[in-house]
């Protein structure tokens, strides 16, 4: 009869050997036999002749203490095992290391994993079956249960640590990539709530404003149903943290309006620790400058207590965020949906996160300051350029005014005499056709020169505008009526769009009338027979009253439009059409549009040129409802 080294030790000596072995390794051991009777084997009260195959012969004290009264002599060992444990098919989950290699289970490979069904269901065992005797007639088997619960806990701690380190690295990379404060705050909240990040249900950012903390932005579902929908969609999408942030940024506004409404109601006094008594609650966390778990029972009475009631939770994680050792804001996180307790490990993760988030906030603050300074410099540069242009223009106008006055004095009187003489000769009924035609040309050219002189003087020495309430709707209809006969004679369709009710604006009537007449006359000259001219008046939206207007004090704007279906103005000369004496007309003076722009600008308005076929030339005159500077 063949026996193994272990099986050669019989009877009481076997039990002593297994007992010492189990004490050394922490094993729970039960010995059973598969039938027959090996020579010389004696296991105390259990007789091989009285037990059925697979019956229990001996159990060590360790197993008896784990499962009292379960492994009794004579019972089927497999039946008892199924009563007190269950096969665990999950095993140790695999995790992926930093280099992409798989870190698998290393705890005593082999055997079967069994999870306890009694006393402590979290306990995990590995079951080994070791043959003690190779006797074919009566083989003995030792069923050894090794408690691997500590190893499992250690493995899960290792897995969670690897996950946290991997997530923290991705979060840090994203934090350092973000520049603007608004985008950074959004990233911070996504990192705290994302499954790939800290995994909280909700997160809120409260910004410091003087001696108070005011809600700015929040992320998180408002109900269990909404949470299920959002988390299921994100889980199915299998997004990483960067993709989750992009998904959130691509949505229109915050994911939940109810959460945003909560943020809008958050307004807490900032406790600086100078009050009487020992500070505690959210204010204490802000004063100490480190993450803390604050419960409803430890919150300060008043605003903090109201905050807990509003959030509907018993505990929140408070994470102060500082810039250059000064509190910039506070991050609040809770588990409103799952009600999962916030652990010390969660706070440690938030503590690490807060360090990098604070650094990123400082960078974004510097970036915002740099952006504001750059914007101010660009604005100052534009203003300097505009002032320089105005100075040059003023110098030109001054020289032009002196020249115009001198030329007008020397030319106007002779022109008046020439024109008057020509018109008196034209009254002679006996005048020949050729002479009449020549004199009509003289009269026409004299009128053109007079207009040129008048325009030059008006442009060089503009009169101070007299402001008064003017009904622009009526003014537009009156000016259009002045040209109606000429428009009809030219075969042009006039489309007039002006409100029936008065639209009163404080402007210079002469300036607006002159500008509108000039634009309308240009349109008539540009449009051929069968073309269209559109004149419109409407109220625009509102705009800031000046640069850097933080309170966004706004005012209404009035727009006058003169559009025509003529050939349009070539792109290469559009920048020059408002310059004095520039013209594309054969007999033009180049003064009309320059005077129009000057008059409108003096009223605090602007003139722009656009093209929207079939209306190839569209002039828009924009005026404030009350005279001022845009």
State the burial class of residue 621 (Cβ atoms within 10 Å of its Cβ: 0-12, 13-18, 19+): buried
Confidence at residue 40, expressed as pLDDT on a 0 to 100 scale: 41
Compute the C-alpha angle 139/141/147, nearest 5°. Answer: 175
Domains of the chain in start order, with CATH, are: 12-157 (no CATH), 178-342 (3.30.450.40), 371-458 (1.10.287), 465-624 (3.30.565.10)
What tokens does 518 get?
């000039």
Confidence at residue 433, expressed as pLDDT on a 0 to 100 scale: 79
Q: 256-293: per-residue pLDDT in tens?
A: 678 888 888 898 887 544 444 444 578 888 888 888 89
Confidence at residue 3, expressed as pLDDT on a 0 to 100 scale: 38
Give the residue from 1, 122, 128, 18 showing the smallest Cα distance to 62: 18
What tokens does 332 get?
């609040």
Q: Name the one residue in this structure whose structure tokens are 């207007």.
A: 549
Confidence at residue 256, expressed as pLDDT on a 0 to 100 scale: 66
Confidence at residue 334, expressed as pLDDT on a 0 to 100 scale: 92
Confidence at residue 179, expressed as pLDDT on a 0 to 100 scale: 67
Confidence at residue 109, expressed as pLDDT on a 0 to 100 scale: 45
Exposure class string for 152-180: b at 16+ Cβ within 10 A, else e: beebeeebeeeebebbbebbbebbeebbe
Confidence at residue 457, expressed as pLDDT on a 0 to 100 scale: 66
Contacts 24+ apart (CB under 8 A), 292-301: 292/317, 292/318, 292/347, 293/317, 293/318, 293/342, 293/347, 294/318, 300/271
Strands (E), 376-497: 468-471, 493-497
For 19, residues 6+ apart whose C-beta sits below 8 A from its C-beta are 29, 60, 61
Say how far apart CA 122 and CA 546 lie, in whole Å: 68
Confidence at residue 591, expressed as pLDDT on a 0 to 100 scale: 72
Q: Name the one residue in this structure whose structure tokens are 């945003």.
A: 260
Say how far apart CA 344 and CA 157 lie, in whole Å: 13
All residue ranges of the chain with pLDDT < 70 are: 1-27, 33-53, 89-111, 118-119, 133-138, 160-167, 176, 178-179, 235, 241, 245-256, 271-280, 397, 400-410, 451-452, 455-465, 541-555, 586-589, 626-630
Dihedral (Cα; 324, 325, 329, 335), 10-degree rounding? 120
208, 329 contact by CB (below 8 A): yes
């Amino acid at each position: 009869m063949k026996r193994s080294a272990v099986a050669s030790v019989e009877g009481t000596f076997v039990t002593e050997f297994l007992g010492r072995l189990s004490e050394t390794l922490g094993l729970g051991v039960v010995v059973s036999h598969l039938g027959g009777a090996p020579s010389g084997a004696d296991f105390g009260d259990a007789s091989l002749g009285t037990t059925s195959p697979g019956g229990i012969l001996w159990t060590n004290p360790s197993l008896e203490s784990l499962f009292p009264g379960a492994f009794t002599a004579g019972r089927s060992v497999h039946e008892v095992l199924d009563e007190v444990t269950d096969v665990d098919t999950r095993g140790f989950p695999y995790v992926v290391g930093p280099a992409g290699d798989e870190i698998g289970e290393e705890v005593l490979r082999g055997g079967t994993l069994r999870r306890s069904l009694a006393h402590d269901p979290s306990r995990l065992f590995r079951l080994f079956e070791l043959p003690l005797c190779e006797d074919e007639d009566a083989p003995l088997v030792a069923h050894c249960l090794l408690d691997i619960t500590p190893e499992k806990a250690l493995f899960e701690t290792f897995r969670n640590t690897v996950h946290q380190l991997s997530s923290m690295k991705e979060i840090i990379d994203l934090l350092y990539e973000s520049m603007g404060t608004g985008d950074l705050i959004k990233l911070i909240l996504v990192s705290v709530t994302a499954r790939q990040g800290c995994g909280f249900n909700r997160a809120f950012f409260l910004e410091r404003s003087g001696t108070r903390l005011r809600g700015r932005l929040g992320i998180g579902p408002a109900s269990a149903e909404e949470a299920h929908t959002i988390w299921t969609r994100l889980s199915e999408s299998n997004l990483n943290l960067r993709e989750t942030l992009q998904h959130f940024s691509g949505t229109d506004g915050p994911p939940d309006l109810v959460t945003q409404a909560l943020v809008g109601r958050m307004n807490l006094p900032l406790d600086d620790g100078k009050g009487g008594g020992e500070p505690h609650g959210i204010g204490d966390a802000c004063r100490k400058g480190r993450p803390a778990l604050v419960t409803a029972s430890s919150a300060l009475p008043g605003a903090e207590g109201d905050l807990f009631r509003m959030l509907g939770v018993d505990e929140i994680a408070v994470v102060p965020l500082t810039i250059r050792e000064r509190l910039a804001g506070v991050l609040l996180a809770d588990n409103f949906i799952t009600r999962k307790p916030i652990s010390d490990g969660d706070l440690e993760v938030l503590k690490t996160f807060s360090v990098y988030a604070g650094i990123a906030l400082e960078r974004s603050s510097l970036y915002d300051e740099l952006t504001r300074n750059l914007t101010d410099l660009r604005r100052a540069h534009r203003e300097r350029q505009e002032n320089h242009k105005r100075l040059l223009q003023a110098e030109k106008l001054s020289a032009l005014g002196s020249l115009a006055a001198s030329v007008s004095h020397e030319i106007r009187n002779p022109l008046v005499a020439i024109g008057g003489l020509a018109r008196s000769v034209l009254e002679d009924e006996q005048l020949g056709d050729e002479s009449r035609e020549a004199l009509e040309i003289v009269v026409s050219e004299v009128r053109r020169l007079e207009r040129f002189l008048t325009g030059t003087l008006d442009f060089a020495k503009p009169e101070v505008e007299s402001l008064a309430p003017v009904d622009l709707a009526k003014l537009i209809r009156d000016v259009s009526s002045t040209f109606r006969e000429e428009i009809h004679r030219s075969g042009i369709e006039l489309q007039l769009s002006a409100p029936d009710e008065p639209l009163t604006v404080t402007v210079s009537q002469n300036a607006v009338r002159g500008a509108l007449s000039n634009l309308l006359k240009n349109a008539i000259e540009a449009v051929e027979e069968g073309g269209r001219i559109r004149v419109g008046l409407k109220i625009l939206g509102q705009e800031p009253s000046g640069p850097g207007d933080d309170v966004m004090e706004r005012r209404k704007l009035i727009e006058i439009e003169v559009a025509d279906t003529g050939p349009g103005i070539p792109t290469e000369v559009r920048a020059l059409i408002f310059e004095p004496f520039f013209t594309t007309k054969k007999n033009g003076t180049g003064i009309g549009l320059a005077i129009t722009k000057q008059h409108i600008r003096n009223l605090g308005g602007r003139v722009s040129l656009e093209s929207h076929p079939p209306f190839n030339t569209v002039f828009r005159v924009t005026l404030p409802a009350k005279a001022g500077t845009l």
